[in-house]
Structure 1
Amino acid sequence: MVPTLILIDENGKPLYNSIQQNDSRAIEEIEYFKKMIDKEVYFSVTGNTVNQQVIFPKFLWLRKHVPDKVKHTRWIMGSYNFINFKLTGIPNLEKNWALESGLWKIEDGWYKDILDASEIPESILPEVYEPWDIVGGTTRELEEETGIPEGIPVTAGSADHIASALAVGMSRNGDLLLKFGGAGDILFVTEQLKLSKKLFIDYHDIPNCYVLNGCMASSGSIVKWFKNEFAPNVNFDELTEMARTAGVGSGGIVMLPYFIGEKTPIFDAKARGTMVGLSLFHNKGHMFRSILEAVAFGFRHHVEVIEEMGFAIERVFMSNGGAKNELWRQIVADVVGYDAVYITNHPGSSLGAAFIAGKATGMFEDWDEINKFLKTKEKISYDQDNHEVYSKYYEIYRDTYTSLKSVFEKLYEVYHEKSES
């Protein structure tokens, strides 16, 4: 949802359907800006690359295809900013929306060169607020329409992935979160501003901190795909036991989890899922475990990028639905080589957003007070022997992609030639 793009008219009404983060309609516009912009300067100023997430190629697409909508645009906002606007009547943007829009200088302020290049007038960009800033209070009109009382303070809020980082207690320099969702997220807290083209960067909800983040396009979605397509009559507990029996290394299978291409750290939309080492000896358990290990190898790839940047990882957390699987938690800990803390019964980003509101209104004095709500935790200790074995498989994992990169490109070309014909 961040950075969603919504065009809003002078009466506060949306002019067009929202355009979501990963919407890829602006392919031509992205290529146009890549040729037009000095990419190195742009990256150093904004921490962004020109990709399908940033706002300005989409705005150019809108100007081409629905010029009348753009002509009548009074404000640009994101999803949660628009909700805040409806609650308070005050146009607003939260700082991480601004950063992820690609229009914002990471050191603060709109990047006028990009605004000019994309013909986005600064006048349609509302004031930018920190997550903990109070935008305003709920309105009399809202009370009459919904019954929500007038005058309730409304904070600027947070990007969902950043709120979820706060919600596991990531309040210290060196904290790392591994999220086992449909996609795999990797979030690292640092007080030092340091950029990598292999990772995204956000502001933390906590002042004076940044969050380096990676996103693996496929993670839990591959687990669901495998079960639905190849084991529809086997439940997840049974598959897990079969995977446990398969043992470390899945009987010699190495898998690449790039089923819909990959975002960080390789940024290769043409990469695809691959299983190497299959034989007639292998069964569903071996293949299922290879999926769990492939995602773990993807996490380790990101950990290496963070370490290569000179950062020290101090604490590791695990969260999201896939982390409920005890075997998967252990595999990830063994692969990355760190002990970890799993937050059981975790409510997700909603807790982080609620805590920000409490902090903004004086209910909490310190950001570490988030731990009051994280009473049930489980420690996962990694196994050094397993880690050493996995390190050998990890090298093969990395070599497999390097060896097949050109094959993926050829396969993409052949497939799309057939599709177009």
Structure 2
Amino acid sequence: MAYTLGIDIGTYETKGVLVDGSGTVHAQAIRGHQMLVPQPGWAEHRPEEDWWGDFVYVCRALLEQSGIDPKDIKAVACSAIGPCMLPVDSDGAPLMNGVLYGVDGRAETEVRELTDRIGEDTIIARCGNALTSQSVGPKILWLKRNRPKIYAATAHILTSTSFLVQRLTGEVVIDHYTAANFSPLYDVETRDWVDDLADDIVPLDKLPRLLWSNEIAGHITATAADATGLAVGTPVTAGTIDAAAEALSVGVDQMGDMMMMYGSTIFIILRAQVRVADPRIWYAPWLFEGEHASMAGSATSGTLTHWFRDQVARDLDPAEAFPALADEASASPPGANGLLMLPYFSGERTPIHDIHAKGAMFGLNLTHTRGDMYRALIEGIAHGTRHVTDTFADLGQSPTRLLAVGGGTKNALWLQATSDITGIDQIVCEKTVGASYGDAFLAALAVGIADRKDIASWNPINREIRANRNDAYDNAHDLFRRLYEQTRDIARELG
């Protein structure tokens, strides 16, 4: 039997699956790691330990658990958090920690300067995206200015997935979907690297070779085989960012399909008919040539539930805290007895792109309970999500169907609040494994084991969450939006 292997590096954990040609999962493995916050506004991972170390551990766990002969694994695909920025030397060794995606706002000055110099309209027209904390180009310029010795020693700028593929195959590649986040260095029309907008960031020969996600990047080397247990010569795809693999895992393939990923952050991907250029959302070529995707993402969502558990529910057993908190929140009515939560604990990404935004819980009085506060937190995340879906609607990109995926789909309160506040029904598929399952499917596509339409049988629909829209939530959403606007300047002055 033919098998494929998929491994995904997330913000706080790495997951892997080994599946056969029909999509049946034969083994799963997981390993946790930490996001480093060396100073406020920064976010990092350790490439050797958190990316490659986790990949090796999970890969060997999958092989041991399944007992499958590595030679029967016909392809490997990986995904990871992104877009990240990692300088490596000529041997592919990391020169510093990996700088993470939009939750890292260290390049605020460079974002502002490049935008002023090039012009936002030009950047959006050429690169598809306004410069934000999500953009890799400004972070490379930050590296050049603030870590000149590291910049001078840099042979290539990689992202998290590129680093894994390089370790597995020796090839320095990046998929187009990820590369579109390297603004202002990637032209979305020519699908190529460019330096005419900013020739002072990095020489283009230091950027990876561009491929589509279903293309084979290379094959497992002898060194990688020794480390992972995989067979020498096994094909490895170019891979992609975790959210794109997650979307693929639940069947986002037709025009109008939207994925909502409930993870450490909320991430949304819409399979779009055309490219929409708007500074509030992101654009990228989809995983396959000639196709389009519109995206959006929060800075904190699932992360907030962990923060609340660790800071406000220390009396509860951590292993049982979330169900207990959900029970407490269920006793609070929709609207959390008048509490509003701004979920901007790490600034915010789409649609406001404000790294200075702050978290807040507004409306507290002496009658409020922990259940009210936890419900307000869940509803605050959902209001942030509605801000995004309303933005898509403003752009004529409302979804024809919405597929939910990720660990948060186990949280019934969160799912229902999101549907009720956004007014959008959600579909949950049988398998919520997530990005690693999408990686395994991508690997199967790359070597002809599966066709794109096969994902419907690999991962059929399990249930639907119906939206129960009400006036109270509409009023609360208006207040939510106004609360941010009226506290924005105070948040900035707080630093």
Q: 1:10-409 alignment to 2 at 5 Å? A: 10-21=90-101, 22-102=103-183, 103-107=185-189, 108-118=191-201, 120-140=202-222, 142-143=224-225, 148-234=230-316, 235-365=321-451, 367-375=452-460, 377-384=462-469, 387-409=470-492
The structure with the largest helix share of the pair is 1
Structure number with greater CO (CA < 8 Å, separation at least 6) is: 2
Aligned partners of 1:191 and 1:208 also within 8 Å: no
Aligned partners of 1:166 and 1:205 also within 8 Å: no
**Deviation, structure 1 residue 41:** 0.5
Aligned partners of 1:164 and 1:349 also within 8 Å: yes
**Deviation, structure 1 residue 183:** 1.8
1:247, 1:277 → 2: CA distance? 15
Percent pairwise identity: 29
Matched residue of 2:199: which SS? helix
Task: Kindly report structure 1 stretches of 4+ aligned residues shifted beyond 4 Å.
Answer: 140-147
**Deviation, structure 1 residue 315:** 0.5
| Ranges in structure 1 where 5+ consecutive residues have no aligned partner | 417-421
Matched residue of 2:196: which SS? helix
2:104, 2:172 → 1: CA distance? 24
Aligned partners of 2:86 and 2:159 also within 8 Å: yes
2:104, 2:358 → 1: CA distance? 20
2:97, 2:360 → 1: CA distance? 36
What is the letter of the counterpart of residue 464 of structure 2?
K
2:142, 2:360 → 1: CA distance? 35
**Deviation, structure 1 residue 188:** 1.8
2:194, 2:159 → 1: CA distance? 18
- Relative distance call for 1:355 and 1:81 in structure 2 (3 A) is same
Q: Structure 1, residues 229-248: CA drift from partner, whole Å, max 9, x if none?
A: 22322433232222222112
**Deviation, structure 1 residue 376:** 5.9
Aligned partners of 2:406 and 2:433 also within 8 Å: no
**Deviation, structure 1 residue 288:** 1.4
The alignment's TM-score, normalised by the length of structure 2, stands at 0.76
Aligned residue pairs total: 408
- Relative distance call for 1:296 and 1:137 in structure 2 (3 A) is same
2:100, 2:478 → 1: CA distance? 36
The alignment's TM-score, normalised by the length of structure 1, stands at 0.89
Corresponding residue number in structure 1 for 2:63: none
Corresponding residue number in structure 2 for 1:419: none
**Deviation, structure 1 residue 142:** 4.2
2:327, 2:371 → 1: CA distance? 8
- Relative distance call for 1:148 and 1:322 in structure 2 (3 A) is closer
Aligned partners of 1:115 and 1:122 also within 8 Å: no
Matched residue of 1:287: which SS? helix
1:402, 1:364 → 2: CA distance? 48
2:460, 2:299 → 1: CA distance? 31
Aligned partners of 1:4 and 1:19 also within 8 Å: yes
Aligned partners of 1:29 and 1:58 also within 8 Å: yes
Corresponding residue number in structure 1 for 2:48: none
1:406, 1:7 → 2: CA distance? 35
| Ranges in structure 2 where 5+ consecutive residues have no aligned partner | 1-80
Corresponding residue number in structure 1 for 2:88: 8
Matched residue of 2:180: which SS? helix
1:267, 1:292 → 2: CA distance? 21
What is the letter of the counterpart of residue 201 of structure 1?
Y
Q: Structure 1, residues 337-380: CA drift from partner, whole Å, max 9, x if none?
A: 12211235511100111111110100012x12112222461211
- Relative distance call for 1:292 and 1:45 in structure 2 (3 A) is same
Corresponding residue number in structure 1 for 2:36: none
1:89, 1:270 → 2: CA distance? 40
Q: Structure 1, residues 80-100: CA drift from partner, whole Å, max 9, x if none?
A: 223222322332222123211
Structure 1 window deviating more from structure 2 (11-20 vs 44-53): it is 11-20
**What RMSD over aligned residues (CA atoms) do the two structures have, in Å?**
2.3
Aligned partners of 2:275 and 2:283 also within 8 Å: no
2:362, 2:206 → 1: CA distance? 52
Matched residue of 1:390: which SS? helix
